[in-house]
Every structure is written in C-alpha cells, then in structure tokens.
Amino acid sequence: MELINSIPLVHIRARRIEIEKKTVSRMIGMYCRGKHGNKQELCSDCDQLHTYAMQRLDHCVFGNEKPFCSACPVHCYKKSMRERIKEVMQYAGPRMLYTHPGLAIMHMFARFSKPQPPKKK
C-alpha cells in the first residue's frame, strides 16, 4: 500500500479534517515565517487566523467528507478571513511541494473530491 507522510491512502478520507488541520497549520506557519519573519511562534494576526481556521474545521458540516474549500457549496469563512486564508494559500501552496510534499499532494487531491450534502443531526 502506498504511503503519503505515513498515512495509508485508504485512510485519508476517514481522517480528512485532521489532515486539513495539519495542512492549514503548516501553511499559516510558513506564511508567517516568510512574510512576518517569525521563526518560533505565529504573530498575533496569524495566530488569530489559525484559531479561526481550526474552529471552522471543527464545525464543518461535511465532517470527514469535506470538499476542497474553494469547491464547497457552504462558505463558512467571514469575507475578511476568507481573503486572509486565500493570501496564505497563494503564498504557501507552491512552497508546500518542497517542504511538505505529502501534505501538498493530499491537498491537491482534495480539490477534486465531490461534496456530499450535509448530514442532518
């Protein structure tokens, strides 16, 4: 079985939110280091964005069936936060291929997943 960052491909969908959190965390960290020069910790703006992104992922109506955010029928980010995360992804996305290729590849595969209707609770 092929492995990406020690995660068997058959288990990626079952751990979608967990993987997305890891990916977004790495992207925000990469952005903060590159744009704001912070080596150890996130600046307050990036930390605020990180906290917001983690909360959004925790409350995603699709759960582990979550589609790629830009393809999602439900836009759960506030407009200002959506603009900030887009900027982070535009900066960090191409760089992820060099620093975290497994996460970058999984993130690209997620782009092609089809959203399912949210499950009613």
Answer yes or no: are the C-beta atoms of 110 and 65 closer than 8 Å: no
pLDDT at 4: 47
113: which residues sit within 8 A by CB, 6+ positions away? 65, 66, 67, 68, 71
pLDDT at 72: 80
Domain ranges of the chain: 3-110
Residue showing tokens 């965390």: 25
pLDDT at 33: 93
| Ordered per-residue pLDDT tens for the chain, 121 residues | 334 445 454 455 568 888 889 889 999 999 999 999 888 899 999 999 999 999 999 998 888 887 777 778 888 899 999 999 999 989 998 888 888 777 777 666 666 655 555 555 5
DSSP code for 117: P
What b/e readout covers 88-120, taking b as 16+ CB neighbours within 10 angstroms? bbebbbeebeeebeebbebbeebeebeeeeeee
Determine the straight-line distance between the first and last CA of the chain, rounded to whole angstroms.
35
